[in-house]
A and B are shown apart, each in its own frame.
Chain A
């Protein structure tokens, strides 16, 4: 391999990227747009669930009960109503997600030590959010019950809670989904760079006729592929820096592990992803075909099957088996491990090995598949 030729190809590719503002903008704005979009908009945290209330009892006891919802940061009381027709309309128009109805005899039941039926109506259209909101409501009620029980048990001296669950959350104490999403986004961003930018580089040369000229020279396949790879690798690493900085200083995502390990692992994954892009480009020979193939084979599986959007253990067995073939699966685990758990190669070596295998295989395949022949 002749490094001078590699440099010539890389330099040529670099000039072409610089002179095509669209591809450059795509390469550098993608991380910013994605992180801002996902960081702000796609928050999986649920706060301020809109809640409408019909308090039929309207006594000190019922107001006291409602206060528990009011004081919880998870609910936002949008108003008090006195008939079902209004409440139904609110639900229909999506102005509220939850409706709480306290019966007329709320305080009477309570003081006579009877169980009180309180009605909770929930908009279940978005089942995920609804489940989480329901959980919040249940815990508010549970806390209220506990409080009542403690009061009465002080007099009766019975232990109401034989088992008490003492919870402690590790790694993401506040259950903030951005802490979980931003590290995963690095994998998505790198895959997009590979899919959208790299997949075009070889196909474009075939389409424009420059490849016929180039393959008539003594340049080797490896020199050509590596030369094309380098500028995109640089863009990918710049994107990584942008992502880490945005994550740290705009979204305050803690980076607990080693920055060096994060960069090394990212470089490894990026090598595989870019090689995949170049491989696709080599096989496709037309830009349109290449970009479609890239989106289908690299971007979509990464988005859906890597554990970024959906938990892998929730998937059907067959799909779970497929996820082992998605390199981003390993990378996302590494990213979250380094970011949130401060673990490193000692714990993550199986994932790192898988990434290594992927990158070596993919880059060899890209070089091997590229033939200096017209057909």
Chain B
């Protein structure tokens, strides 16, 4: 059963079509990478799938819930980390985590152990009492992830989470993701770093709102006869543009 499924999902902003007839199916426990240049429609896709933006046309389901009709119950099972830091900079690390634990109604009995585990995971324990606004970029993102994981979501949406994050924090981040995959969490990951895309089970290349290719990194490289994803994507986008101009 597909955990994320869309059929002809489309979102327009005036004349601009940010997401154009998107069709994807992602099975449980997969990490799916959505890659594409800035303005390709990655963030809009995230917002559509998390139920915080309604599509102009088409449909989508996440964990069996319709993204428009069941947008609210959908939110029980997912976690979303927006591209821009979305936590309260005037609250401390622990206050932010506790706030989201309350919002997701995490039972008190599980809470302490969970928080300890998440803080330990992300190496944030020594910074528990620090205001979130005083954290470094990498620590902020790890805190965002900790808050997103407090309710053990089934599907995790991460919108360019490692943008501007130092390599050490980035490695921490990916270590956490790999542990989640062992627990059958489905991860929808958008990035513009192609080395990160290589680590995904499958990648979708999105360009001007259109999904141009969707396959495993190996398959995409084989098909285009290239050595790296970067070359593959340049060739796919080039192909698309020249086909359009003809």
Query: Would you give the shortest CB distance from A203 to chain B, in whole angstroms?
Result: 15
Q: List residues of chain A with CB within 8 A of the CB of B216.
A: none
Q: Given that A7-B102, A209-B82, A212-B52 are known contacts, is A217 also in contact with B87, CB under 8 Å in the complex?
A: no
Contact B82 A212 (CB under 8 A): yes
Contact B85 A209 (CB under 8 A): yes
Q: List residues of chain A with CB within 8 A of the CB of B93.
A: none
Which of B21-29, B72-80, B167-175 touches A? Answer: B72-80
List which B55-109 residues lie within 8 A (CB) of chain A.
Answer: 71-73, 75-76, 78-82, 84-91, 95, 99-100, 102-105
Q: Given that A209-B82, A213-B82, A217-B104 are known contacts, is A12 also in contact with B88, CB under 8 Å in the complex?
A: yes
Which of A52-60, A92-100, A119-127, A367-375 touches B? Answer: A367-375
Contact of A16 among B85, B91, B103, B105 (CB under 8 A): B91
Q: List residues of chain A with CB within 8 A of the CB of B91.
A: 12, 15-16
- The answer to whether A267 has its CB under 8 Å from any CB of chain B is no
Contact A15 B95 (CB under 8 A): yes
Query: Would you give the shortest CB distance from A148 to chain B, in whole angstroms?
Result: 76
Q: List residues of chain B with CB within 8 A of the CB of A209.
A: 82, 84-86
Q: Given that A209-B85, A218-B75 are known contacts, is A375 also in contact with B99, CB under 8 Å in the complex?
A: no
Query: Would you give the shortest CB distance from B210 to chain A, in whole angstroms?
Result: 21
Query: Would you give the shortest CB distance from B55 to chain A, in whole angstroms?
Result: 11
Contact A210 B53 (CB under 8 A): no
Q: List residues of chain B with CB within 8 A of the CB of A8.
A: 99, 102-103
- The answer to whether A19 has its CB under 8 Å from any CB of chain B is yes
- The answer to whether A137 has its CB under 8 Å from any CB of chain B is no
Q: Which has the most chain A C-beta neighbours within 10 Å: B80, B91, B102? A: B102
Q: Given that A8-B102, A218-B76, A373-B54 are known contacts, is A213 also in contact with B90, CB under 8 Å in the complex?
A: no
Contact of B87 among A2, A210, A219 (CB under 8 A): A210
Contact A16 B52 (CB under 8 A): no
Cα distance A373–B72 when bound, in Å? 11
- The answer to whether B51 has its CB under 8 Å from any CB of chain A is yes
Chain B residue at minimal CB-CB distance from A216: B80
Q: List residues of chain A with CB within 8 A of the CB of B6.
A: none
Contact B85 A218 (CB under 8 A): no
Total contacting residues, chain B, CB less than 8 A: 32
Contact A216 B105 (CB under 8 A): no
Q: Which has the most chain B C-beta neighbours within 10 Å: A11, A215, A219? A: A215
Q: List residues of chain A with CB within 8 A of the CB of B76.
A: 218
Contact A217 B90 (CB under 8 A): no
Contact B90 A372 (CB under 8 A): no
Tier of interface size on chain A: 20 to 34
Q: List residues of chain B with CB within 8 A of the CB of A208.
A: 89
Query: Would you give the shortest CB distance from B107 to chain A, in whole angstroms?
Result: 10
- The answer to whether B186 has its CB under 8 Å from any CB of chain A is no
Cα distance A2–B51 when bound, in Å? 21
Q: List residues of chain B with CB within 8 A of the CB of A375.
A: 53-54
Q: Given that A215-B52, A216-B75, A373-B52 are known contacts, is A210 also in contact with B102, CB under 8 Å in the complex?
A: no
Q: Beta-carbon contacts of B112-148 to A below 8 Å, as 1s and 0s?
A: 0000000000000000000000000000000000000
Query: Would you give the shortest CB distance from A120 to chain B, in whole angstroms?
Result: 64
Contact A213 B105 (CB under 8 A): no
- The answer to whether A166 has its CB under 8 Å from any CB of chain B is no
Query: Would you give the shortest CB distance from B191 to chain A, in whole angstroms?
Result: 18
- The answer to whether A5 has its CB under 8 Å from any CB of chain B is yes
Query: Would you give the shortest CB distance from A79 to chain B, in whole angstroms?
Result: 62
Cα distance A213–B157 when bound, in Å? 11
Cα distance A15–B71 when bound, in Å? 30
Cα distance A212–B52 when bound, in Å? 8
Contact of A218 among B47, B72, B95, B99 (CB under 8 A): B72
Contact B47 A374 (CB under 8 A): yes
- The answer to whether B50 has its CB under 8 Å from any CB of chain A is yes
Q: Given that A4-B105, A215-B52 are known contacts, is A210 also in contact with B86, CB under 8 Å in the complex?
A: yes
- The answer to whether A174 has its CB under 8 Å from any CB of chain B is no
Query: Would you give the shortest CB distance from B64 to chain A, in whole angstroms?
Result: 16
Cα distance A8–B102 when bound, in Å? 6
Contact B104 A218 (CB under 8 A): yes
Q: Given that A8-B102, A209-B82, A216-B51 are known contacts, is A15 also in contact with B90, CB under 8 Å in the complex?
A: yes
Contact A216 B50 (CB under 8 A): yes
Contact A210 B88 (CB under 8 A): yes
Cα distance A266–B88 when bound, in Å? 32
Q: List residues of chain A with CB within 8 A of the CB of B84.
A: 209, 212
Q: List residues of chain A with CB within 8 A of the CB of B104.
A: 217-218
Q: List residues of chain A with CB within 8 A of the CB of B71.
A: 372
Q: Beta-carbon contacts of A210-245 to B below 8 Å, as 1s and 0s?
A: 101111111110000000000000000000000000
B interface vs A, CB < 8 Å? 47, 50-54, 71-73, 75-76, 78-82, 84-91, 95, 99-100, 102-105, 157
| A–B complex contacts, Cβ < 8 Å, 8 sampled | A7-B102, A8-B102, A11-B99, A19-B90, A218-B73, A220-B72, A372-B51, A372-B52
